[in-house]
Amino acid sequence: MRKGRNFILFVFLLLLSACSDNDVIIKEQIEEEQPQQKILNEFQDASFLRDPTKTYTYEYSDDTFVVETIKSENANEQIWNQSMGDGSTKETIMIEEKDGLMIGDGLSESPALRYPIELGQTWQQCNKENECMNYEIVALLDYYTTSAGKFADVVRVKSSDGRTAYYAKEVGLIYVENQNKEALVQLRGLQEFISNQTAAKEPVYHWDEVLDTAGGKHKVDIVPIEEKSYPSDMTWAGANEFDLIREGSYEFRVDDIKQSEKIGDWLFNMERNSGRVIGSKPNFIVVKQTESSNSYSSKLFYIHDEKIVEVKDTDGNSSGFFYSGDHVYPLSEDTFLTAWYNNADVELYYELYTYKITDFATGKTELIKEDKVSLEESEAYFQQFEENLAPVN
């Protein structure tokens, strides 16, 4: 059964289809002369729809990386989630029909490949302004190599604007170049995808003794509701290459009892301290995400009356506290401090914010103090709070 998608619209949906001066080195390709019958046999009933068991990572000419994972699959139709480089997400629909491989965004679909796959096969794509692009299958390759590996049975498609796209059997789009042989899009990673259906739903974090507001001890787990797990394909502010990432929606269990208070959508880097327990009575459970090389956003939780409570901001909304490094410190049972590194001014310093929890039942806070400490004095200043950061088993 066949499956599918399009090249120009593909580039547009994923990110930018702009050219770049960045050269990407691709290994020399070999097009071996093969009997026509072998070519027909390899491509006649081939599918060029993506492999739903894999995570796809594409690199664009502007150095943007896009990670895609399967959202749903129904016979010859797939919906993929695209995690864009700027933190946003999009969806791509791929449909493989008798006449070809289509790609779209839910509003319209356009042909990426026209079937049957054979040399000289042509088709056309036109937009609403009746501007048309012509495509032709110009080569059937035994294999083609990109940074993601060597792929067998590859179709090379030339468009009237001078671009060339490569599609691999049972993989989909693997490479796009402009008329100057410069890479516009290339598949950089193809790895096993672990969905919430296939994962064992093991806890992301587990602590045996978390103290509540009365000093009682509880077992706490952070568990996935839905998630995907994958190794990072690149080094960025929130991860090094190959760091294990767990991304999805999450909830708490206290003493094996599911909690109504949830973390929601989150990204955990399992190689970094993305979840920790700090403080004395009560312990604060801190989950954090990287915003930049200099900052994190975090949600803080504690246990009150045997239930998880989220620390709210001063307006009573979900916390989302921002700070630099690991600089969030419990000062007493109801106050804590966050520190933001300010390097925008001539003087380098940390901005300090002290919050007080005004109601343990709701988690609402008020900002009770603002201050700053110079960069030179900061190490000694923060050292006084370190004893309250001892990890809980």
**pLDDT tens digits for 301-337?**
999 999 999 999 888 887 678 888 889 999 999 999 9
Greater confidence (393 vs 78) lies with: 78
Evaluate the CA torsion angle 380, 382, 388, 391 in order and state its sign: negative
Backbone angles phi, psi at 128, to 5 degrees: -65, -25
Q: Following CA atoms 365, 369, 375, 378 in sequence, which dihedral angle do they give, to the nearest 10 degrees?
A: -80
Minimum mean pLDDT among 77-81, 126-130, 198-202, 249-253: which range?
198-202
Place of tokens 């690149």: 234
- Would you kindly state where each structural domain of the chain is located, as residue ranges? 7-192, 205-389
- How far does Cα 308 stand from its chain's mean position? 27
In the structure encoding, which two tokens stand for residue 304, read together?
């009150």
Nearest-angstrom CA–CA distance, 8 and 18: 11
Residue 11: pLDDT above 70? no
Most confident of 35-49, 152-166, 196-210: 152-166
Q: Assign 6 a pLDDT band (cuts: 50, 70, 90).
A: very low
Report the percent of the chain where pLDDT is more than 90: 48
What's the pLDDT score for residue 89? 78
pLDDT in tens, 65-92: 888 888 888 878 999 988 876 667 788 9
> Higher model confidence: residue 82 or residue 28?
82
Note the pLDDT of residue 319. Answer: 64
> Residues 3, 47: contact at Cβ < 8 Å?
yes
Tell me how far apart the alpha carbons of residues 340 and 327 are, in angstroms, rounded to a whole number.
8
List pLDDT tens digits, range 346-369: 789 999 999 999 999 999 999 999
Give the CB-side neighbour count of residue 25, counting CA atoms within 13 A.
1
What is the chain's mean pLDDT, rounded?
A: 83
- The predicted model scores a pTM of 0.53
Whole-number Å distance between alpha carbons of 188 and 88: 20
d(CA 48, CA 39): 15
Question: What confidence tier does 39 reach under pLDDT thresholds 50, 70, 90?
Answer: low
